[in-house]
Amino acid sequence: MNPRPDISLFKHLINWYRQNKRPLPWRKYADPYHIYISEIVFQQTRIDQGISYFNNIIGKYPDFISLSKAHEKDFLNVWQGLGYYSRAHNILKAASIIAEKYDGELPSEYDKLLSLPGIGPYTAAAISSIAFGLPIPVVDGNVKRVISRIRCIGIPTDKIELTNEIQDFLNQHIHHFDPSDFNQSLMELGALVCTPANPSCPDCPVEKFCGALKSNSVEKYPVKAAKKTKPAVSINFYIIFCNDKKDAFYMVRRDSEKIWKGLYEFPCIETDESEASVNSTEQQFPAGFPLDHAQPVFRTNHVLTHRLIRASFFETVYKKKVPAHWIKVPVSEAHTMPVHRLIQEYLEQMHDRKKQ
């Protein structure tokens, strides 16, 4: 490992950040609510993908009080397309707690932030440092990459030992600087310059401090975690029209499921080919429902963090009594329902077929 960079490393980095930081909307006013929303939205989403969602959420729900009054369906419609829907549910839960317990104001204490749904150590550190100036380092993927290269740390990225070592190192320096700029400068460097592939080393404001660059081994850091094979889930979705005109079909709301909670989809069955499951319970079809008569119309795949989903869609008409939890939805209103990406793909291709 190269010798510990002295405090001038962070002076150079923060000066660079103040001159080159992106004009992101939540940086304009340092509003704790805006910072909170940005941190949750961008937990699993790239900046360029999520800015429009951030703006839409802030526009419709300008503070925690209005957010605490949001209906789940309405908020999921705003969130639709961002994925990782547990974040949306946690936002609503946290908003209710903040409205009731903290009079609509985000608490500034790290421990109180950590107690809110959906906020872990990284997010609590980011909010407390950026919104409230507390000297708590943030260790996300960008920071791990930057510090691993600067200090030539050979610990894989999925190991807690790497997080702990970087946390200890940053703790020694953050007290000397503005915590918000300190943390954001590291994350900004990783996002704009010290990227995973083809980093712009000549443009790096701290290249003279980088051990990996000096040893011509930038591509070796950070040490990647061992790849894990994603088990495949095979699902058959049934678009069940309630009449021959095919102007309405049945949907079901996912409740207490492993993923996509609160979203709507078509009745479905996981097939015997599945290597894992994303359903907590089997969808209940009416006794004698003619699954074999449904016509295949569409197939697609969807990659999740821990699963590969292979989805097949079948259409049929069914005029008999259906389970109480099946919801009749006019086809013309399907776009108003909060749905996950697989259902959205089917609706898009159905729309394209009608235009042909």
pLDDT tens per residue across span 319-330: 999 999 999 999
Per-domain residue ranges of the chain: 8-220, 232-355
- Residue 81 pLDDT: 87
pLDDT (average), residues 256-262: 79
Contact predicate 303/227, CB 8 Å = no
Percent of the chain whose pLDDT exceeds 90: 74
- Residue 356 pLDDT: 61
Residues 137-151: tens digit of each pLDDT: 999 999 999 999 999
pLDDT band at 101 (very low <50, low <70, confident <90, very high): very high
pLDDT band at 58 (very low <50, low <70, confident <90, very high): very high
Q: Which CATH superfamily is domain 8-220 in?
A: Hypothetical protein; domain 2 (1.10.340.30)
Q: Which CATH superfamily is domain 232-355 in?
A: Nucleoside Triphosphate Pyrophosphohydrolase (3.90.79.10)
Contact predicate 54/35, CB 8 Å = no
Q: Phi and psi at residue 310, in whole multiples of 5°? A: -105, 115
- 38 pLDDT higher than 70: yes
* Residue 315: closest CA among 338, 334, 298, 332: 298
- Residue 355 pLDDT: 67
DSSP state of 320: S
Q: Does 8-220 match 232-355 in CATH topology?
A: no
Question: What average pLDDT does the chain have?
Answer: 91
pLDDT band at 82 (very low <50, low <70, confident <90, very high): confident
Distances (CA, A) of 300 to 56, 235, 341: 29, 10, 10
Taken in order 174, 196, 48, 93, the sign of the CA dihedral is: negative
Contact predicate 183/134, CB 8 Å = no
The DSSP bridge partners found for residue 236 are: 269, 312
The Cα diameter of the chain in Å comes to 75
Distances (CA, A) of 295 to 19, 251, 286, 290: 59, 18, 18, 11
pLDDT (average), residues 158-163: 94
pLDDT (average), residues 192-219: 95
Given 39, 165, 188, 345, which residue is catalytic? 39
Lowest mean pLDDT, pick from 19-23, 245-249, 253-257: 253-257
Looking at per-residue confidence, does 104 or 30 come out higher? 104
> Could you give the CA distance from residue 71 to residue 92 in angstroms, rounded to a whole number?
9
The DSSP bridge partners found for residue 298 are: 313
Could you give the count of Cα atoms lying within 13 Å of 165 in the half-sphere of its Cβ? 18
Tell me, yes or no, if 161 is annotated catalytic.
Answer: no
> Could you give the CA distance from residue 292 to residue 308 in angstroms, rounded to a whole number?
25
> Could you give the CA distance from residue 68 to residue 37 in angstroms, rounded to a whole number?
13
pLDDT band at 1 (very low <50, low <70, confident <90, very high): very low
- 3 pLDDT higher than 50: no
pLDDT band at 272 (very low <50, low <70, confident <90, very high): confident
- 257 pLDDT higher than 70: no
pLDDT band at 33 (very low <50, low <70, confident <90, very high): very high
- Residue 228 pLDDT: 80
pLDDT (average), residues 244-256: 90
> Could you give the CA distance from residue 90 to residue 107 in angstroms, rounded to a whole number?
16
pLDDT (average), residues 159-187: 96
Residues 206-232: tens digit of each pLDDT: 999 999 999 999 999 999 988 888 899
